[in-house]
Amino acid sequence: MSKEKLKVLIVEDNPTDALVVKKRLQKDSAFDYEVTHVVSGEEALLSMENNTYDIALLDYNLPKMGGMEILAEIKRKNIEVPVVMVTGQGDEIVAAQLIKEGALDYLPKRENYEDAVPFMIRKTIAEFRSMLERARLQKEIALRKEELEKTNAKLMELDRMKSDFVANVVHELRTPLTIIKGNLDNIDKGFAGEVHPKQKEIMGDIFRVISRLSRLVNDLLDLSKIESGKMELNKECLDIVKLAEETAKTFETLAASKKIGIVREFPSKQVIVKADRDKLTQVFVNFIGNAVKFTDRGNVTVRIIDLEGEAQVEIQDTGPGIPEDQTDKIFDKFVRVVAEKKEGTGLGLPIAKDIIVLHKGRVRVESETGKGSRFIFVIPK
Ligand SMILES: Nc1ncnc2c1ncn2[C@@H]1O[C@H](COP(=O)(O)OP(=O)(O)OP(=O)(O)O)[C@@H](O)[C@H]1O
Ligand SMILES: [Mg+2]
């Protein structure tokens, strides 16, 4: 294998010293050295500007332009070269200053100091190369970061446009829906003439579809408000036990028609949390609603645990459960577990989660397929 060629610049006014170092390098088998020798700082700078050196050994004590001055010029002219300063005996005290000015190392001119030169060159070049590599990587990281920031800003703008679009469309859907519902109501009540039983039956179907559509429109509107940061919480101190009881009660008839019980496990005392009444009710409706909807036998348990600084709510059911690989996804928009053929859009859980997070709470689910699910959330007091 051919050896790597290293171009070395020796800046030394004493020809004997230069020759000693040159000879020592010829004996070193690690590299193939190409040595250039100049005798003054001016010459050194000129040579460095016109050639690329792998390393410069710079005598600190030069008659005219001294080591420190040459270092400053190298920096000013942006010459990329690692410098080892060769200092005289007793010059060690300036070493720290030399390093500060950009020299990578220094070598005192002691007896046989030339023997240390090959190692010093190897070490300094390795250090310089890793410095260059670090600088290159840092530059690349900065560039990538800038690119990412630009892309991110663009995506956020697109996302905002999408949210605005959805919000506008959904908002526009509300008015005609209200009109359709109102008119249908009038027909149903006989204001437009007698309604036959068959017509009433068909209208019943239409009402059901319309109320589904209204719910979807309201859910989408809620989500777009949350996503654009426009959902505001009207927080008040309220008893979460009472709120849970009120919501559970509204599901009693539906649960009874499916022969499921709604079990309450509440603390005997009230548990006061700071929350938005309507929004927290919506959270309970979504969780209890899901539990009753997806469960066909057994019970739905609504449990409240009074903890230090927060209230923990658990909605547990004996329904089909949720496959493990789906438990994270169900909190995303429009995600529904395919096997559950129940009515719905897949917006209830993402809304509930967003509302909980807005209250600085947390939510998670524990589930075992075939056995049931337990949705757990906490709301700070
Ligand atoms: N208690 C539960 N038991 C079993 N699966 C559940 C339960 N709660 C939610 N899931 C699963 O998570 C999915 C998402 O629930 P989510 O409430 O977001 O939507 P949905 O109830 O299908 O529709 P929507 O709430 O918009 O009417 C459900 O479709 C169902 O597959
Ligand atoms: Mg739901």
Give 235-290 as a DSSP string: EEEEEHHHHHHHHHHHTHHHHHHTT-EEEEE--SS--EEEEEHHHHHHHHHHHHHH
Mean pLDDT of 327-342: 82
Span 222-260, pLDDT tens digits: 888 888 888 889 999 999 999 999 999 999 999 999 999
Q: Is the pLDDT of residue 22 over 80?
A: yes
Residue ranges matching CATH 1.10.287.130 in the chain: 150-227
Q: Where in the chain is the domain with CATH 3.30.565.10?
A: 235-380
The pLDDT of residue 300 is 97
Tens of pLDDT along 68-105? 899 999 999 999 999 999 988 677 778 888 888 899 99
Average pLDDT over residues 283-296: 96
State which of 336, 363, 373 you would mutate to test the pocket of ligand 1, scoring each by most atoms of that ligand within 8 A of its C-beta.
336
Distance in Å, CA 225 to ligand 1 centroid: 21
Binding-site residues, ligand 1, Cβ < 6 A: 286, 290-291, 294, 317, 319-320, 322, 330, 335-337, 340, 344-349, 373
Kindly report, residue by residue over 53-69, the tens digit of the pLDDT: 999 999 998 988 988 89
Q: How do 235-239 and 272-276 pair as beta strands? A: antiparallel
Percentage of the chain lying above the pLDDT 70 cut: 98
Index of the ligand 1 atom closest to the CA of residue 348: 25
Which pLDDT band holds residue 115 (cuts at 50, 70, 90)? very high
CA atoms of 140 and 307, how far apart (whole Å) = 49
Separation between Cα atoms, residue 286 and residue 222, nearest integer Å: 13
CATH number at 5-110: 3.40.50.2300
User: Residue 375 belongs to what H/E stretch?
Assistant: strand 372-380
> Ligand 1: which of 349, 373, 374, 375 to mutate, judged by most atoms within 8 Å of the beta carbon?
349
Residue with tokens 């169900």: 330
Main-chain dihedrals φ then ψ at residue 374, nearest 5 degrees: -135, 110
Q: Which ligand lies nearest the alpha carbon of 219?
A: 1
Pocket test for ligand 1, best of 262, 330, 373 (most atoms within 8 A of CB): 330
- Topology adopted by domain 150-227: Helix Hairpins (1.10.287)
Alpha carbon of residue 109 to chain centroid: 55
pLDDT value at residue 311: 97
Please give the DSSP secondary-structure letter assigned to residue 90: T
Measured from the alpha carbon of residue 341, the closest ligand is 1
> How far away, in angstroms, is 320 Cα from ligand 2 center?
14
Angle separating helix axes 348-358 and 277-294, nearest 10 degrees: 150
Which tokens hold the place of 222? 């809620």
166 or 264: which carries more pLDDT confidence?
264
Q: Nearest ligand, CA of residue 344?
A: 1
Residue 289 has pLDDT above 70, yes or no: yes
Percent of the chain with pLDDT over 90: 75
**Atom 9 of ligand 1, nearest CA residue:** 290
Per the prediction, the chain carries an average pLDDT of 92
Helix (H) or strand (E) holding 304: strand 299-307
Length of the chain: 381
Element (H, E) at 373: strand 372-380
The pLDDT of residue 283 is above 90: yes
What is the DSSP track for 117-150?
Answer: HHHHHHHHHHHHHHHHHHHHHHHHHHHHHHHHHH
Q: Is 309 left (phi over 0), alpha (psi -120 to 50) or beta?
A: left
Point out the ligand 1 atom lying closest to the alpha carbon of residue 340: 31
pLDDT at 116 exceeding the cut of 90: yes
Tell the residue number behind the tokens 């409706």, with chain if given.
285
Answer yes or no: is pLDDT of 344 > 90: no
Please compute the mean of the pLDDT values over residues 23-43 and round it to a whole number.
94
Asked if pLDDT for residue 10 goes beyond 90, the answer is yes
CA of 208 to the centre of ligand 2 (A): 17
Question: Considering every ligand atom, which ligand is closest to the CA of 330?
Answer: 1
What is the predicted pLDDT for the residue at 376? 98
CATH superfamily assigned to domain 235-380: Histidine kinase-like ATPase, C-terminal domain (3.30.565.10)
- In whole angstroms, give the CA distance from residue 328 to residue 109: 69
**How much is the pLDDT for 338?**
67
Strands 362-368 and 310-317: unpaired
What pLDDT is attached to residue 1? Answer: 63
User: Which residue ranges does the chain devote to CATH 3.40.50.2300?
Assistant: 5-110
Residue with token string 């897949």: 346
Q: Do 311 and 379 touch, CB atoms closer than 8 A?
A: yes
Q: What is the DSSP string of 7-60?
A: EEEEE-S-HHHHHHHHHHHHH--SSEEEEEEESSHHHHHHHHHHS--SEEEEES
**pLDDT higher than threshold 90 for residue 165:** no
Instruction: Answer whether 216's CB lies under 8 Å from 347's CB.
Output: yes
274, 312 in Cβ contact below 8 A? no
Sign of the CA dihedral 229, 234, 235, 240? negative
pTM score? 0.63
